[in-house]
Amino acid sequence: MILSEKGVPLRRRSGVPFERRLTDLQRVQFRWPVGMPLVRPMGKGLFEVRTPLPDSTIARVLFCFHQGELYSLHGFIKKSQKAPAADLKLARKRQKEVENG
């Protein structure tokens, strides 16, 4: 289960149907490596999976791999081409927590 900073499950916070996010994450996990348009590398082992939504926006889940496991770090609806700095910072913080145990 993916939790927010406040411990709220991501599936309860996101407007993206949980099944849709799960399908795209499973595609990444079991068919790795996956490239554009589904997955975009963000650098330093961080990746972004993109899930198109019916309203023409795109949901994003930032993730990394560590010791053969996929870790979902942060999810959000991106409103511009550039990933928001706060979202990247949070994902990188969580990535370090995963890597450092």
Residue 19 lies in a domain: yes
Q: Is residue 27 part of a domain?
A: yes
Residue 51 lies in a domain: yes
| Domain presence at residue 74 | yes
**For residue 75, is it within any domain?**
yes
Q: Is 1 part of a structural domain of the chain?
A: no
Closest CA to 88 of 61, 53, 68: 61
Q: List, in sequence order, the alpha helices (H) in the chain.
A: 10-13, 18-30, 85-100
Number of domains forming the structure of the chain = 1
For 8-58, write each residue's pLDDT tens digit.
555 544 555 666 666 777 788 777 778 888 899 999 999 999 888 777 778
Tens digit of each residue's pLDDT (9 = 90 or more) over 48-65: 998 887 777 788 899 999
Contact 88, 43 (CB under 8 A): no
- For the record, the structure tokens of 98 come out as 């995963």
Any domain includes 2: no
Cis peptide before 37 (omega within 30 of 0): yes
Structure tokens at 8: 């709220």
Does 57 fall in a domain?
A: yes
> Domain span at residue 45?
10-100
Q: Using an 8 Å Cβ cutoff, are 13 and 5 in contact?
A: no
